[in-house]
Structure 1
Amino acid sequence: MRLLIRILPRFGAILTTEPIKLSSHRFKMTEVTPPKRALSTPVIGTHNGTFHCDEVVACFMLKQLPEYENAEILRSRDDKLLREKCDIIVDVGSEFDPEKKLFDHHQKSFQDTLSSIRPELGKEFDIRLSSAGLVYAHYGEEVIQSILKKQRGIELSAENLKLAFVQIYRNFISELDAIDNGVPLFDGAEPRYKISTHLSARVGRLNPSWHETNVDIDKRFYQAMEMAGNEFVGNVLEVACSWIQARDHVRSALLEAKSVHPTGEILILQTFVPWKAHLADLEKEYNVEGVPKLVLFNDGTSWRVAGVPLSAGSFLGRKFLPTVWRGLRDDELSTLAEIEGLIFVHHSGFIGGAKTKEAALAMAKKSIEWPEE
């Protein structure tokens, strides 16, 4: 077998056993005997040929870790060569053994999910893992911390790291697992439309088309890894630097609710953040499900009083603003409600506005105490 080695300036060396045709004016390839790699240079192994989003992301995540940061990537289906040369192997080899650092999921015996590998996370995660999911299940926390240290110079607490790990799996990795394993979006009838712009589809389009010739598929692999990696890093930063902080703001408002109103039904967000999904989760955490009814926040122009929906995506609320106020504005509304400084109440009653925090709070308190309609 001939082994080719090339140097890609951004990502380092890549080894391949796949025949490659290149136009002579673009690259000069040097044929060499299999190298004796330095003990300090690790090698990540994966399959050659057509690449998929799961092993692209798996390799990217591994290269965020200090031990694999400068790793070469060997793309081959020669099991003997892979096991001789590689420190860790993903998406090829028909074996899953984390102690041996073998992370394939194609074998018939493999049925693991995130919940089966990480039972402390509960039974929610029942999608069969891809190679991306396998690497994430075993190295995800280290990958997240490494990215945050490089990108922002921060480190999450153990509690927030667990939250981020779960949320990034929900937001990002579970989709890759499902698509790679052919898990349908829903049971029953065929979907009415096809989504073809997701990350797995974009990675797939970087593979050479049937009519393309003289294509360096390994270079395309690295392009895919950079594209998918940028998206993964963006997700990590959004969760760690925005989503978790938003959750902390909602947590504070929930814990202080009884100081606002003795029922605990009114929450005041001192800083506006997306709050609905966080509130639903935190109510379960603090065993106050269904208690909060109205949330006050400043949207940057005025104060708002918003009804808490029955669920994060629902248009139905636990308690909206009184019917007699709905559709009214300014002086007419302020006079009827006997509260100075009101701006409007939406015709459905799910939200109202006020010029000041004090007026918004008065609106919320009157709404809470309003007789059931």
Structure 2
Amino acid sequence: MSSVVDAIAQPLLKRQKTDNGPATKIIGTHNGTFHCDEALAVFLLRQTAAYGGAALKRSRDPKVLDTCDIVVDVGGVYDEGLQRFDHHQRGFEEVFGHGFTTKLSSAGLVYKHFGREIIASRMGTDVKDEKVDTLWLKLYREFIEALDGIDNGVSQYPTDIQAKYRNRTDLSSRVGWLNPAWNESVDSASVDARFEKASKLTGEEFLGRLDYYGKAWLPARDIVARALGERLNVDSSGQILLFTEFAPWKEHLFELEAQQAMPEESKPVYVVYPDETAGNWRIQAVPVSPESFESRKALPEPWRGFRDDELSKVSGIEGGIFVHASGFIGGNQTREGALALARKALQM
């Protein structure tokens, strides 16, 4: 390993000493058939201060790669100091950490080292902002890890499970389709142009997902966190959350409960929030897990399936709109009415 690293370091040091003034940085990756991981890795590097606007060289020739400032997905070396980020070499077992165990591809490697900077720059905040770390982990879990797994041949499910259908619409597959067909005659310049198209495709999806998480998912998390912090002001039990505006809340609630090591007996049971339409209010039972149809405490059975005046009569609370037949959700015309339903349901 050390001999390989030394062989790489010498050309790099020589080039650094002979450079005169600022020059366009060069990103290196392999030529030939391209994949989603290096296409995204190149795009991500171009979002950084060091490699913004960098040129690209696609080659497997070590002499060509030695002229590059950074090399991804080729070369057989992972060394941050040398700016070499390959994952194909024997003995490479690098993972993202933080509970993730999927072996990294070049996309994961570049994201692990440069992701925080890219997120902070896109969000217009400091890289030390705790929200940057939240988004960094979220994007790895929801976007990057799958690319790492696919590129490294890591099965998503146990191999004894037979899929009922094939899915070839994922990002890695769409990048694959941009390669020339096996019997299509194209020159290297045309393949390089297709690679740039693939890199743009992966980057647009990455930035779109980052923008959503930063501008929609994260603000929803703030709303849930604030409601958790103020829940004792809503009801002394602490089991009712009140949102002053609607926001997707399930995923955030379960994650925040886990982070705070919240005891089962003090976890919220009902969530009260304004309906997205008509100015009414909703009460929803918290499920036992984000995807579950079973509730921690469903709304009382005597209320289920009733609407309007009948619901007001059986519940004893004016302004009733409905309670679902399964008891997982209900509605009232006012915030006070929805809160009254929640408080009464806790006692039943």
Q: Same fold (TM over 0.5)?
A: yes
Q: How does 1:13-32 map to 2 (within 5 A)?
A: none
Task: Tell me, in whole angstroms, the C-alpha distance in 2 between the residues paired with 1:306 and 1:73.
Answer: 53
Is 1:196 equivalent to 2:168 in the alignment?
A: yes
| Cα pair 1:257 1:264 within 8 Å, conserved | yes
Task: Tell me, in whole angstroms, the C-alpha distance in 1 between the residues paired with 2:186 and 2:36.
Answer: 23
Task: Tell me, in whole angstroms, the C-alpha distance in 1 between the residues paired with 2:273 and 2:64.
Answer: 61
Greater alpha carbon shift after TM alignment, 293-302 vs 318-327:
293-302
Equivalent in the alignment of 1:87? 69
- Of 246, 262, 272, which residue of structure 2 is paired with 1:296? 272
Deviation readout 1:108-143 (Å, 9 max, x if unpaired): 11011001xxxxx3xx20000000000011111011
Task: Tell me, in whole angstroms, the C-alpha distance in 2 between the residues paired with 1:167 and 1:38.
Answer: 39
Structure 1 runs of 4+ off > 6 angstroms? none
Is 1:166 equivalent to 2:166 in the alignment?
A: no
Q: Let me know the Cα RMSD of the aligned residues.
A: 1.5
- Of 100, 104, 123, which residue of structure 1 is paired with 2:82? 100
- Of 208, 211, 235, which residue of structure 2 is paired with 1:234? 208
- Of 234, 238, 244, which residue of structure 2 is paired with 1:264? 238
Q: How does 1:81-160 map to 2 (within 5 A)?
A: 81-83=64-66, 85-115=67-97, 121=98, 124-149=99-124, 154=125, 158-160=129-131
Evaluate the alpha carbon distance shift between residue 289 and residue 198 of structure 1 in structure 2; reply closer, same or farther with a 3 A threshold. farther
Q: How does 1:350-369 map to 2 (within 5 A)?
A: 350-369=328-347
| Cα pair 1:208 1:217 within 8 Å, conserved | yes
Deviation readout 1:241-297 (Å, 9 max, x if unpaired): 111111110001111111111110000111111100100011122232431100011
Equivalent in the alignment of 2:57? 74
Using the size of structure 1 for normalisation, the TM-score is 0.84
Using the size of structure 2 for normalisation, the TM-score is 0.90
| Cα pair 2:107 2:147 within 8 Å, conserved | yes
Task: Tell me, in whole angstroms, the C-alpha distance in 1 between the residues paired with 2:20 and 2:313.
Answer: 82
Question: How far apart are 1:193 and its partner, in Å?
Answer: 2.0
Equivalent in the alignment of 2:10? none
Question: How far apart are 1:189 and its partner, in Å?
Answer: 2.0
Question: How far apart are 1:309 and its partner, in Å?
Answer: 0.5
Equivalent in the alignment of 1:29? none
Task: Tell me, in whole angstroms, the C-alpha distance in 2 between the residues paired with 1:289 and 1:206.
Answer: 51
Greater alpha carbon shift after TM alignment, 321-330 vs 240-249:
240-249
Question: How far apart are 1:204 and its partner, in Å?
Answer: 0.5
Task: Tell me, in whole angstroms, the C-alpha distance in 1 between the residues paired with 2:156 and 2:21.
Answer: 46
Question: How far apart are 1:67 and its partner, in Å?
Answer: 1.6
Q: Percent identity?
A: 46
How many residue pairs align between the two structures?
323
Is 1:324 equivalent to 2:302 in the alignment?
A: yes
| Cα pair 1:280 1:289 within 8 Å, conserved | no
Task: Tell me, in whole angstroms, the C-alpha distance in 2 between the residues paired with 1:190 and 1:158.
Answer: 44
Greater alpha carbon shift after TM alignment, 276-285 vs 214-223:
214-223
Whichever residue aligns with residue 268 of structure 1, its letter is L
Is 1:49 equivalent to 2:27 in the alignment?
A: no
Q: Equivalent residue of 1:177, what SS? A: helix
Q: Gaps (5+ residues) in structure 2?
A: 1-18
Whichever residue aligns with residue 106 of structure 1, its letter is H
Question: How far apart are 1:38 and its partner, in Å?
Answer: 7.1
Q: Gaps (5+ residues) in structure 1?
A: 1-35, 116-120
Question: How far apart are 1:86 and its partner, in Å?
Answer: 0.5
